[in-house]
Amino acid sequence: MSKIIFLDVDGTLCNYEGSIPKTAIQAIQQARKNGHRVYICTGRSKAEVYSEIWAIGIDGMIGGNGSYVEDNNQIIMHQQLSATDSRKIVDWLHAHKLEFFLESNNGLFASANFEKRGKITMQQYAKGKGFADVNNITVRTSFPEMIFGAELYRTDLNKISFILNDYQDFLAAKAAFPSLKVGTWGGKNEDPLFGDIGVPNISKAHAIDVLLNHLHASKSATFAFGDAKIDIPMLNYCHIGVAMGNSGPECKQAADYITTSVDEDGIARAFSHFKLI
């Protein structure tokens, strides 16, 4: 029986340097040859899914932590921030002197001082994820296709991420935008370095459900792979939830199976364990 496999990207498909292990590529390609479908299920917008991921030969993607669903180049669902909400968020972030970037399928768009302010934050992020040498990490190495100096009032946004000066900035954003989904993401043990604001009532699990309905497929055929708290809903939703060895404790607790880390061939080992390859 063919299976449907959902892979988180950062910390699951690739390590936090952005490298995809060859064993993961080979496992995905063999699984697809065996008749299984493979989708990425990520917080990234489509503009952040670079060519090396598509070159593997995946069947499609869930992006924006569940706001976007694509199957073989066909858009199945796309929920975006309204133009009004997008403008309000940008104005609020400017008023609170918080640097940010806009996440769209058409690109990532940085606020005026994000590159300078973001360098320290991205180095903190990398250090928390286990990098030994973070001195060469910059915003441009972390987000190679980020666009600077562009118009920030846009109508095509999946979500907006902003640098937290402290946790109070997240609480203030949550109070300011109660009708939207406000979260955090970050470094070691997912300590909050960034806040993000997106459309309400989305999750990776909901997006998977939308895709399964489109495919006329059963939940019993599904596998989900993740490493972070944001992945827990899809680990719980899918028939088999797999946590990477580099996952946090909450993610591991939610999983049916724990494989090895990204750099220890975690995807390939789990695919083999479940006889997907």
**Global pTM value:** 0.91
Asked whether the domain spanning 83-198 has the same topology as the one spanning 4-79+202-273, the reply is no
Q: Exposure string (b/e) for 126-161, b if CB count within 10 Å is 16 or more?
A: bebbebeeeeebebeebbeebbeeeebebebbbbbb
Which architecture does CATH list for 83-198? 2-Layer Sandwich (3.30)
Mean pLDDT, all residues of the chain: 94
| Domains of the chain by residue range | 4-79+202-273, 83-198
Cα separation, 261 vs 46, whole angstroms: 25
Class of domain 4-79+202-273: alpha beta
Tell which residue, 15, 61, 20, has the closest CA to residue 244.
15
pLDDT tens digits for 23-69? 999 999 999 999 999 999 999 999 999 999 999 999 999 999 999 99
Q: Give yes or no for residue 117 having a pLDDT over 90.
A: yes
**In this model, does residue 211 exceed pLDDT 90?**
yes
242, β-bridge pairs: 225, 257
